Structure 1
Amino acid sequence: MDLILWRHAEARDASTDEDDLERPLTLRGSKQAQRMAEWLNRFLPESTRVLVSPALRTRQTADALGRKYRLVDGLAPGAGPSQLLTAARWPDSREPVLVVGHQPTLGQTAAYLMAGADAVQAPAWGVKKGAAWWLRYRVREGVPEVVLVSVRTPEKL
């Protein structure tokens, strides 16, 4: 199973009177999302399920992809890795899954999958705004493993 973790692109800073879920992307963030979406669309199979946090900035990031997606309340800010992995049906999903979400959840999930159960207690790994981490679950010689396929940031595309 392939799991792609895509952090939302740069969003407007939170103000005291604004709901965090309603913060839009900045102009720079829109460009980041478009750049990453172009790269993702070159490699993502058509069968990829796209799961998106209900926050405006994640929806706008996912919109750049031009694919259908499903909003998942369990991916909102403050969600944990277990909620993300349940929504993605890790590691049993037959199709690739792209999750558009937030820090620290994405970094915690990457740490957990790559470093093991002890990583749940460790700090989240840093996932830059607009970046995508592509992970693959496979069984090799009877041993399950997680492989880091790619890490991309919009600035390096």
Structure 2
Amino acid sequence: MDLILWRHAEAEDWHEGCDDLARSLTPRGEKQAKRMAAWLDRQLPEGTRILCSPARRCEQTVLALGRKYKLREEIAPHATGDELLAAAGWPHGKSVIVLVGHQPALGQAVARLLGLQQDSCAVRKGSVWWLRTRERDGEEQTVMVTVQAPELL
């Protein structure tokens, strides 16, 4: 199974009294989303399932890809890394899955899958972490396929 974790692009800052789910991408964030979406579109096979947090900034990020997606409450800003992995069906899902979500849950999922000592790792805004599960010698392994940042595309 391939799991692509895509953090939403740069968004407006949170401030007291604002609706976190309603925060929009900044102009820089819109450029990041377009750049990463163009790269992803060339890489993703047909039939890729795309799951997106209901937060506006995530939906704006995924809209740049121009593919069908589903909003999923279980990957909203309050989610944990384990909840993201469960929503994706990791590690036994049948298709390529793209999850568009938030920190710290994305970093928690990466840390768990790669067996890092810390509970989480930094996932930059707009970046993609592409992981794959495979079986070798009767043991299930997680392989890092690539990490991409929009600034480097």
TM range (shorter): over 0.9
Range that drifts further, 79-88 or 103-112:
79-88
Give the C-alpha shift of residue 100 in structure 1: 0.2
Q: TM-score, normalised by structure 2?
A: 0.97
Q: TM-score, normalised by structure 1?
A: 0.94
- Matches of 1:148 and 1:20, distance apart in 2: 31
Structure 2, unaligned stretches of length 5 or more? none
Give the C-alpha shift of residue 124 in structure 1: 1.3
Is the CA contact (8 Å cut-off) linking 2:50 and 2:69 kept in structure 1?
yes
- Matches of 1:82 and 1:130, distance apart in 2: 21
Q: Are 1:132 and 2:149 counterparts?
A: no
Q: Are 1:22 and 2:22 counterparts?
A: yes
The number of residue pairs the alignment matches comes to 153
- Deviations along 1:71-119, one digit per CA (max 9) or x if unpaired, are 1101011211121111101111110000000000000000000116xx5
Is the CA contact (8 Å cut-off) linking 2:131 and 2:144 kept in structure 1?
yes
Identity %: 54
Deviant stretches of 4+, over 2 Å: none
> Of residues 122, 131, 153 in structure 1, which corresponds to 2:149?
153
Structure 1, unaligned stretches of length 5 or more? none
Give the C-alpha shift of residue 47 in structure 1: 1.1
